[in-house]
Amino acid sequence: MEKKNIDWANLGFSYVETDKRYVSHYKDGAWDDGALISDATVAISECAGVLQYAQTCFEGLKAYTTEDGHIVTFRPDLNAARLKSSCERLEIPVFPEERFIQAVSETVDANEAYVPPYGSGATLYVRPFIFGSSSVIGVAPADEYQFRVFTTPVGPYFKGGAKPLTIRVSDFDRAAPHGTGHIKAGLNYAMSLYAIVDAHKKGFDENMYLDPATRTKVEETGGANFLFVTKDNKVVTPKSDSILPSITRRSLVTVAKDYLGLEVEEREVFFDEVKDFAECGLCGTAAVISPVGKIVDHGNEICLPSGMTEMGPVTKKLYDTLTGIQMGRIEAPEGWIHVIK
Ligand SMILES: *Cc1c(COP(=O)(O)O)cnc(C)c1O
């Protein structure tokens, strides 16, 4: 298999069209067989449910080339299960979980020429998504849907080392109690754009959202879960019904306990405690962990002892261990690595 002529190390995180994508249509109460196609455009009614009432949700995962040359994905069963729960909350028919894993594998395989080589730092990002495609004018779920999977090669997240982020406590809320914060819906991102553009204008990398009901507890950022480390090396991660259950964060909890022998607490985290933590990181598929160096609450600065030049030592160990598992350098827990070829 000849790889595409791409400067892997200098790829950014932006869309690059690849050769094939998967599509399955839902019509008359059933998903069709699905197929790989070449056309990267979608033609739907101007009145489609997704365009009028944002009936859509998505997933994000990566395909890697491991040290021994296999192409793998990381825990795609958890993406399948999470898409199912997103669909249920949005009145979208569920795409069967085994078929999800199959569709992801077929799409990656069909775009093998775009899977970055081992050691390049780049990966193939996989974006499964589902949307209401039939026309809807009175507010109701659509009758027809498309499930699609496309891939795009993305560069190493940290070029020249991980620079700790400066984040701010947001005055905007992300997810209401009993709302949709726990599902991966496009609508959660649409309403976060104003807050992130405003944060960037003011020199911050990300927003820390607190719980909207009391504004006392840490929830997450627009697209990543928090992980803290206490001064006595305990890993603490916020628990809330309105946090999106990050697969990276859940995997890091296992790595902390079973690989590093650390104590882990998944519990409510009060913003008042944050000043006492030793390290802070943001977890998600894109970066695995981005270190946070500074948290600003309306002019009041919390400077993490890990500083503004590198990852804290526990964060670094977590990062190295999980990426080692993903790249096949460290033995994975049963079922974590899905070999495509
Ligand atoms: C996708 C996402 C994450 C990260 O989840 P991973 O499964 O680790 O990629 C965190 N928060 C939000 C709001 C997300 O949409």
State the Cα–Cα distance between residues 185 and 162, nearest whole angstrom. Answer: 28
User: Atom 5, ligand 1: which residue's CA is nearest?
Assistant: 246
Which of 144-148, 160-164, 192-196, 313-317 has the lowest average pLDDT? 160-164
Q: Can you tell me which atom of ligand 1 is nearest the CA of 220?
A: 11
Residues with CB under 6 A from ligand 1: 60, 184, 220, 223-225, 244, 246-249, 283-285
Taking the C-alpha atoms of residue 283 and residue 254, their distance in angstroms, rounded to an integer, is: 14
Instruction: Look at residue 152 and tell me whether its pLDDT is greater than 80.
Output: yes
User: Which residue's alpha carbon is at the smallest distance from atom 1 of ligand 1?
Assistant: 223
Of the pLDDT bands very low, low, confident and very high (cuts 50, 70, 90), residue 156 is confident
Q: Measured between alpha carbons, how far is 145 from 258 in angstroms, rounded to an integer?
A: 41
Residue 69 has a CB neighbour count (10 Å cut-off) of 10
For residue 158, the model assigns a pLDDT of 77
Report the SS3 class of residue 197: helix
**Lowest mean pLDDT: which of 88-102, 151-165, 269-283?**
151-165
Tell me which H or E stretch contains 251. Answer: helix 247-254
Cβ burial, residue 339 (10 Å; 0-12/13-18/19+): exposed
Active site residues: 184
In this structure, what are the phi and psi dihedrals at residue 247, rounded to the nearest 5 degrees? -70, -35
| Cα angle, residue 95 at apex, residues 92 and 99 outer, rounded to 5° | 175
10 Å CB burial of residue 193 (0-12, 13-18, 19+) is: exposed
Compute the C-alpha angle 41/46/47, nearest 5°: 130
* Rounded distance between C-alpha atoms, residue 149 and residue 328, angstroms: 25
pLDDT of the residue at 316: 96
